[in-house]
Amino acid sequence: MRLDKFLKVSRIIKRRTVAKEVADKGRILVNNRPAKSSTDVKVGDEMTIQFGNKTLVIRIEKIVDTTKKDEAKEMYTIVSETAIERDPE
């Protein structure tokens, strides 16, 4: 499954266009390699996502084409979540 579609279906990022934008800016790593929105992801991949003011590291547990909101969290496991400190200007 494409990276941008996985992020939308799993509801990590709400819109596919936003997921594509984040990926194409180089803010997503799949298995510690920079990933574009068209990168194929599979079960077991570890993904590092930087968006907003946090960094999220997840492991893909399952891939489905469509899912209900309640079941979306079963698609991944959060490995770590850290807030990014911004310097006050």
Q: Which domains does the chain have, with CATH numbers?
A: 3-83 (3.10.290.10)
Question: Are 36 and 3 in contact, with CB atoms under 8 Å apart?
Answer: yes
Question: Are 12 and 28 in contact, with CB atoms under 8 Å apart?
Answer: no
Sheet order of strands, 76-83 included: 33-34, 28-30, 46-51, 54-60, 76-83
Q: What percent of the chain has pLDDT over 90?
A: 74
Model-level pTM? 0.85
**pLDDT tens across 3-43, in order?**
999 999 999 999 999 999 999 999 999 999 999 999 999 99
